[in-house]
Amino acid sequence: MKTKTFIMFVGPSVFLMFLFIAAPLVSVFLQSFQVTQGVFEEVIETKCTPGFPAQICTEEASVRRVLDDDGNPVSQTSWVGLDTYRTVLDPDAVSAAFDEGGSGWSQLMTIDFYKALRFTLTFTLITLPLVIGTGLAIALAVNRCVESLKGPVIFVSLLPFIITPVIGALSIRWLFIGDGIMTALLENWTGQDIAMFAQGWTIELLMLFYRVWHVAPFAFVIFYAALQTVNQDTLESAIIDGASRWQRLKYVVIPHLMPLIIFVALIHLMDCYRVFEEIIGFSSQAHVISLQWLTFDYLTPDDSGNRAISRAAANSMLTMIGIVILLIPLLRRTYRDHKNSSH
Amino acid sequence: MSQAKVFQASTGLKVTVAVFLLFWLVVAAFPLFWVLVMSFKLPVDAFSASPLAVITGPETLAEKGGISILDMLLGAVAFYLVYQAVSHWTRGVAERVGFGFTPIGWILGSLIMGAAGLFVFVIILPIVTGAVNWAFGLIPGLSLLAQPVIGITLDHYIAVWFENEFYRNFLNSMTVTAGVVLISLTVGTLAGYGLARTPSSLAFWLLIMALIFRALPHSVLVTGYLPPFINSREILEPFLGDAAPTLYGQPLAVIVVLVSINQPFTIWMLRSFFQNIPAELDEAARVDGCGHFEAFWRVIMPVMWPGVITTGLFSFLLAYNDYLVTALLLDAQNQTMVPAITQYFNRETTTTDQVEAVAAAVSITAPLFLLVMVFQRQIVSGLTAGAVKG
């Protein structure tokens, strides 16, 4: 295919991606160094009240928003360098926390950004092995299943994956909220009064459960498809050599699945790092927040209708650093595949 | 035979596997099943601590009536029949009504099957259960089977859909998803084909860019959109004059945004489907005198529809399930279903509100449930296509 034809085919797609992905990225990068504020002016008013023998006059200074000729408030954008990053990262509060007299870690966790970073990272790292393990176990189990049952089993397994994330989180939440049946069951077992939504760590447990429930089917489907292509000859020779079931799994099946395990892991890391819907579904913002939720929160108009765009931009840029680190292995893998396939 | 014997598992392993599989199925389906049950009960029953009370709904039964054991049996039979019919016949129906043009066939076929299913459940089932209940009620020993035992009420659904005008959100959701699927497939198939048929390194770098774009958190992009979208009127005025629109709150703007966010994933997936089609096919077409575009449209696309349908399903899911973009870029008037439901439960003051939120959640999930029923095979093939190709 000639380059000209190629460009005609990919043109619309590339145009959309540049206009709506690349351009916004640049604009976010620039905005993170800027602050847009309303322009205010100080007005000195003389207020007089009737009095005797003369009026009593006081001069009051008040601050007012400057309006332009059409009556719209005037805003002004100024470059502030790294100031917004400083507001988000709050280095002074960090050093205060670890100085003498500061309470260290727990004080650090009162700053939104570190609170969100801590949760995002632990959440990502804990769910990863759980998702892969659960997905693999389901795939192996379904592979041994009776042929006629496979269809319905896959159907039910796909449901948690296909469901709207917010709704999925909500449906887990409704099982546990107040004296919901799962909470009642737990209370019965432990004999204690349990409130799942009163403290952070129980909410985090529910979130972990939700995420594994939601993503394990994806891992399952991919592993299951790959299990169909395991080399039967190798398996047979392993049996003849007297390999136990466990050894066959470890030395034949898992190595065969390895590229896909890495693929699932990378996709999962990428998606999990963007954790957001759980916070909405479990309404956990008072206890647990994530990096992407923090940006969302800055972008949501506050009580006076203002959006903290520049803080959102700075927070976005900081989030991106993590994404870049996560992407490096994936990019290297793709590059290697590309070089291998072109030879 | 000997091979089968060697692969035979011991009884212990068989039992473990069966127990594990059963456990997983319960875990997978239970939350959804439970939410479905809750949505039909009065709040007293729905949030009762006793599971039995939630299922049988004594208060609901006393106040609103319910269904009998016979109703349930007949309902289960009807569900099984519809499931079988949908999973076996949709393909045939789609081929018959599609006039050889498969996507239209699939859309029409799904609609026909959906309507038929609705017809069975809403019209035929009540008539049949009514008659059977009446007949069993006459037989002294069996009349117990015809007695209502499980309380059910549709009040919350009626409140959600009509009093709270959820149908508006539903229509908005449909507009946005339909737009996203159509545009992203049109743009994506062109790009996917181009990328699959070019060995140049330009294509490789484009794919790498797409991979990076796919990893971006959507909130980062929305941060970039918000200021220009809110001020778009002033920005575009010099070019468009008075016709300059405010993009914030426009469904069309959200469609384009979602299409773009979806592009990286779409082109990767479509490219891997196009790569499965041998390049000899378009070479043959070119030898016969087709241009590149003609070969693409006349020769490649007809064998490509399964891949397009699968990719379309994933575009549908992305647009339908989206919360972040629609919540920030659409105003209350044009809100889609998913953000609308959270506004709902944020004001959960009474338990009735909560059960209404549950009913809304079930309403959002129902179309997805049908989707998996009809397109299970395509979804599985789509998930694996991306993975196996890398």
Peptide bond into B228 cis (omega under 30): no
Q: Give the rounded percent of residues in chain A with a pLDDT score beyond 70.
A: 92
Of A14, A174, A270, the CB nearest to B35: A174
pLDDT band (50, 70, 90) for residue B347:
low
Phi, psi for residue A73 in degrees, rounded to 5: -65, 140
pLDDT digit string, tens, across residues B180-217: 888 888 888 888 888 887 777 788 888 888 888 888 88
Region B85-114: mean pLDDT is 71
Chain A residue at shortest CA distance from B190: A9
pLDDT digit string, tens, across residues B123-135: 787 788 778 777 7
Rounded to whole angstroms, the Cα distance separating B200 from A150 reads 42
* Whether the predicted pLDDT of B227 surpasses 50: yes
The answer to whether A16 contacts B259, with C-beta atoms less than 8 Å apart, is yes
Selected for mutation to probe chain A from B186, B200, B220, B381 (highest A CB count within 10 Å) is: B220
Q: Which of residues 83-142 of B touch A (CB under 8 A)?
A: 87
pLDDT digit string, tens, across residues A283-338: 777 788 888 888 888 888 777 667 777 788 888 888 888 888 877 877 787 778 77
Selected for mutation to probe chain B from A2, A21, A212 (highest B CB count within 10 Å) is: A21
Burial A250-283 (b: 16+ CB within 10 A, else e): eebbeebbeebbebbbbbbbbbbbbbbbbbbbbb
Tell me what percent of chain B is helix, strand and coil, each rounded to the nearest 5: 85, 0, 15
Contacts of B200 in chain A (CB under 8 A): 3, 6
The answer to whether A316 contacts B9, with C-beta atoms less than 8 Å apart, is no
If one compares B318 and B89, the residue with the highest pLDDT of the two is B318
The answer to whether the CB of A233 falls within 8 A of the CB of B360 is no
Instruction: Please tell me if residue B261 touches chain A, with a CB cutoff of 8 Å.
Output: yes
* Whether the predicted pLDDT of B243 surpasses 70: no
Instruction: Please tell me if residue B11 touches chain A, with a CB cutoff of 8 Å.
Output: no
Region B103-131: mean pLDDT is 77
Chain B residue at shortest CA distance from A161: B28
Q: Beta-carbon neighbour count of residue A231 at 10 Å?
A: 11
| CATH fold of A105-342 | MetI-like fold (1.10.3720)
Q: What is the domain partition of chain A in residue ranges?
A: 105-342
* Whether the predicted pLDDT of B4 surpasses 60: no
pLDDT digit string, tens, across residues A72-87: 666 677 777 777 777 7
Query: Residue B244: its pLDDT value, please?
Result: 66
pLDDT digit string, tens, across residues B295-332: 778 777 877 877 888 888 888 888 888 888 888 888 77
Query: Residue B389: its pLDDT value, please?
Result: 46
The answer to whether B260 contacts A213, with C-beta atoms less than 8 Å apart, is no
Query: Residue B167: its pLDDT value, please?
Result: 82
The answer to whether the CB of B358 falls within 8 A of the CB of B38 is yes
The answer to whether B214 contacts A292, with C-beta atoms less than 8 Å apart, is no
Instruction: Please tell me if residue B292 touches chain A, with a CB cutoff of 8 Å.
Output: yes
* Whether the predicted pLDDT of B2 surpasses 50: no
The answer to whether B224 contacts A28, with C-beta atoms less than 8 Å apart, is yes
Q: Which among A288, A271, A87, A280 is positioned nearest to B357, based on CA atoms? A: A280
Q: What is the domain partition of chain B in residue ranges?
A: 57-153, 160-389
Q: Are strands B66-68 and A75-79 parallel, antiparallel or unpaired?
A: unpaired
Of A160, A162, A319, the CB nearest to B220: A319
If one compares B111 and A100, the residue with the highest pLDDT of the two is B111
- CB contacts < 8 Å between A and B, how many? 287
pLDDT band (50, 70, 90) for residue B1:
very low
Average per-residue pLDDT in chain B? 78
Query: Residue B102: its pLDDT value, please?
Result: 63
CA distance B114 to chain A (A): 18
Q: What is the CATH number of domain B160-389?
A: 1.10.3720.10
Q: What is the dihedral of CA A160, A163, A165, A171, to 10 degrees?
A: -70
Query: Residue A130: its pLDDT value, please?
Result: 92
Contacts of B342 in chain A (CB under 8 A): 166, 280
Query: Residue A58: its pLDDT value, please?
Result: 78
Region B17-34: mean pLDDT is 87
The answer to whether B225 contacts A13, with C-beta atoms less than 8 Å apart, is no
CA distance A97 to chain B (A): 29
CA distance B127 to chain A (A): 29
